[in-house]
Amino acid sequence: MKQLYEKVGAIHIHSVFSDGSGHYDEIIRGASEVGLEFLLFSDHWTLEPKRHNWEGFHYGVLVGIGVELNDNEQRNHLLAFEIDDEIERGLDAVEYTRRVVDSGGWAVVAHPDERRTELPEFPAYPWTTWESEKFQGIEIWNHLSEWMERLTRRNKYWLYLNPRRSVIEPTLWTLKKWDELNLKRRVVGIGGVDAHAHHYPIWQNVNATIFPYKVAFRSIHVHVLLEQLPEMQDADAALSQLFKALRAGRLYISNRYVGQAKGFRFWAEDTETVTEYQMGDRIKAGSMLIFRSILPDDASHAYIIKDSVPVYKWRGGEGNFASDEPGVYRVEVRRKRRAFIYSNPIVIEADS
Ligand SMILES: [Zn+2]
Ligand SMILES: [Zn+2]
């Protein structure tokens, strides 16, 4: 197994620069205190924090700044990273996705499958523009969306106070969509916390902070595997290293509330040519691969999923599965009746 350098962070953060309640300084400090190594902010529409020099290392945390875009109907939210200029408002999703990608940015569909809840104060904002073929990533797991989906009139105050309990698993619809997209091209799966720390009135003038940032930062994590030793001196170099790995799909997603996932691995070996492939790789049909995965602990059980169907199951330690059939292969790990880890896929491409 090739040596890779693992960095753990959180993606999709809002601050006072748009509709979040937290200031950059306190948010980053909070992330640092819970051990996160990078944070990707995505305030709605604005790159203002970039102009305030918030990009780079602060409190030992590498900070990257993008935006979240939406259309006139408030739908089709898109996270856009590695862009230098703001995107104008009033465009449709196909067009703003194209502009982000054509200007060299990394475009990630946010909460694609957000569903209506019974509470009118939390409407749903799904992605509907699947005809766009430009986006390079999709948020397969969004803490805020899942929390909202599970809200009812009866449990809402309990869930306001226990936000991490609502995080159980992504929707099957999203996972299936993600697998289908990967049959055709690489679409990287990420997890987002969508942290805002909204203050919400629960009784007369008593306000609860929904998801204080530090609580949100102990839920959905993104673990990036870097090929080279992480750059710690030069923030620009560190960010381009981070985005290179993210764009390549060398990452997995975990729920920190369920356990410590660090050390999880998923890779594939072609024993004939002695080649090792990583998450995100796409391999031409014709070779026999051994898919290998190491779990972080013995209490977890895992599945190798091929084209949305579990094909191999094991508990603890290492799992191996050989196949030469074209398809989208990835690993799902569960623990304590909750989803724990989602790898990005390794794809054997069909002959076309
Ligand atoms: Zn959104
Ligand atoms: Zn958001």
pLDDT in tens, 250-304: 999 999 999 999 999 999 999 899 999 999 999 999 989 999 999 999 889 999 9
Domain assignment of residue 86, yes or no:
yes
| Ligand 1 centroid to residue 283 C-alpha, Å | 33
Predicted TM-score (pTM) of the model is: 0.94
| Ligand 1 centroid to residue 115 C-alpha, Å | 12
Same domain, 18 and 157: yes
| Ligand 2 centroid to residue 251 C-alpha, Å | 21
Same domain, 69 and 215: yes
Say if CB 346 and CB 266 are below 8 A apart: yes
CATH number, domain containing residue 300: 2.60.40.10
Same domain, 157 and 287: no
Q: Is the pLDDT of residue 205 over 70?
A: no
Q: Is the pLDDT of residue 202 over 60?
A: no
Same domain, 9 and 103: yes
Domain assignment of residue 331, yes or no:
yes
| Ligand 2 centroid to residue 42 C-alpha, Å | 7
| Ligand 1 centroid to residue 111 C-alpha, Å | 7
Using a pLDDT cut of 70, give the percent of the chain over it.
94
Nearest residue to 344 (alpha-carbon basis) of 294, 278, 289: 278
Domain assignment of residue 146, yes or no:
yes
Domain assignment of residue 295, yes or no:
yes
Say if CB 144 and CB 193 are below 8 A apart: yes
**What pLDDT was estimated at residue 155?**
76
| Ligand 2 centroid to residue 12 C-alpha, Å | 6
The residue behind tokens 């997603």 is 253
Same domain, 88 and 115: yes
**Tokens at residue 200, please?**
């919400």
Ligand nearest to the CA of 13: 2
Same domain, 189 and 80: yes
Q: What sign for the dihedral angle of Cα 12, 16, 20, 23?
A: positive
Report the range of poorest mean pLDDT among 21-25, 228-232, 283-287.
228-232
Last residue of a domain, one of 213, 231, 255: 255
CATH number, domain containing residue 145: 3.20.20.140
**What pLDDT was estimated at residue 200?**
62
Ion ligand 2: protein residues whose beta carbon lies under 5 Å = 68, 194
| Ligand 1 centroid to residue 141 C-alpha, Å | 12
Q: Give how many domains the chain has, as a whole number.
A: 2
Ligand nearest to the CA of 19: 2
Q: What is the domain extent for residue 124?
A: 5-255
What are 195-204's contacts with CB under 8 Å, separation 24+? 195/10, 195/12, 195/13, 195/14, 195/20, 195/22, 195/27, 195/143, 195/144, 196/14, 196/19, 196/20, 196/21, 196/144, 197/20, 197/21, 197/22, 198/19, 198/20, 198/21, 199/21, 200/160, 202/157, 202/160
Q: How many CB atoms lie within 10 A of CB 23?
A: 12
Residues paired with 57 in a beta bridge: 62
Using a pLDDT cut of 90, give the percent of the chain over it.
76
Give me the chain's average pLDDT, please.
Answer: 92
Ion ligand 1: protein residues whose beta carbon lies under 5 Å = 77, 110
Ligand nearest to the CA of 20: 2
Last residue of a domain, one of 196, 222, 255: 255
| Ligand 2 centroid to residue 280 C-alpha, Å | 25
User: Per residue in 106-136, pLDDT tens?
Assistant: 999 999 998 766 777 777 889 999 999 999 9
Same domain, 158 and 240: yes
Same domain, 233 and 286: no
Say if CB 276 and CB 268 are below 8 A apart: yes
Same domain, 105 and 82: yes
Band (192; pLDDT cuts 50, 70, 90): very high
Same domain, 272 and 213: no
